[in-house]
Amino acid sequence: MIYFLATIQLSNSRLIINDNYNTTRFFQSSYWTLKSVLFEELIFRGALLYIAIEKLGTRSACIISAIAFGVYHWFSYGVWGQPLQMLFVFIITAIAGLMFAYAFAKTRSLYLPIGLHLGWNLMTIVVFSQGPLKDQLFISNGGEKPGDVISVLLLLFQILALPVIVFWYLRRQTARTH
């Protein structure tokens, strides 16, 4: 949420509530988002990561899971064959995939990865209209592109802030239980 609000502020943009948005649309888009998150989590963490941890160990399994998650999003985002977009999508989704994998590996449960993934996707897709469902609750009126340095800082914040907090929290929790 901080990322989206900072981007809006720094681009001199405004968020406008979508006049065509209603309760039915909210539940439909939330349900679509929940189904997509459950599908991805059951495949990448519930099946592939679980098996990989047993066969390869936690570190290798988490890395392989993150790479697979990043590559999968080339196709789900429709960027295959566009090298720059593929790189960008891979970095963002592989880092998120690593965070989700680490959350699963440390907790041995799908609850935390599903919660993190669902929270991120609901904010991105349903609240801030940045996804395949297009105009949802808030719509941006455009604004100006932030400068290059600001854009890089926003990108770094987007891809690193939540994973760093999650890694720190899980390490702290693990240290407390041992």
Q: Read off the pLDDT of residues 4-20 as tens digits, 9 standing for 90 and up.
A: 777 777 777 888 999 99
SS (H, E, C) the chain: CHHHHHHHHHCCCCEEECCCCCHHHHHHHHHHHHHHHHHHHHHHHHHHHHHHHHHHCHHHHHHHHHHHHHHHHHHHCCCCCCHHHHHHHHHHHHHHHHHHHHHHHHHCCCHHHHHHHHHHHHHHHHHCCCCCCCCCCEEECCCCCCCHHHHHHHHHHHHHHHHHHHHHHHHHHHHHHC
Mean pLDDT, the chain, rounded, equals 91
Least confident of 35-44, 78-87, 95-104, 163-172: 163-172
Residue-level pLDDT at 177: 75
Mean pLDDT of the region 38-56: 97
Average pLDDT over every residue of 22-32? 98
- Report, as an integer, the average pLDDT of 80-106: 96
pLDDT for the residue 119:
95
Do the bridges between strand 138-140 and strand 15-17 make them parallel or antiparallel, or are there none, so unpaired? antiparallel
CB neighbours (10 Å) of residue 108?
A: 8
Q: Which residue has the higher pLDDT, 7 or 27?
A: 27
| Domain definitions of the chain by residue range | 39-136+147-173
pLDDT of residue 146: 66
Confidence (pLDDT) at 178: 66
Q: What is the mean pLDDT of residues 63-72?
A: 98
Q: What integer pLDDT is reported at residue 157 of this predicted model?
A: 83
CB 97 within 8 A of CB 64: no
Does the pLDDT of residue 150 top 80, yes or no? no
Q: Enter the pTM of the model.
A: 0.88
User: Hey, what are 37's tokens?
Assistant: 């998150």
**Which has the minimum average pLDDT: 24-38, 112-126, 158-172?**
158-172
Query: What tens digit of pLDDT does each residue of 124-138 get?
Result: 999 999 889 999 999
- DSSP code of 49? I
DSSP 2-43: HHHHHHHHHTT--EEE-TT--HHHHHHHHHHHHHHHHHHHII
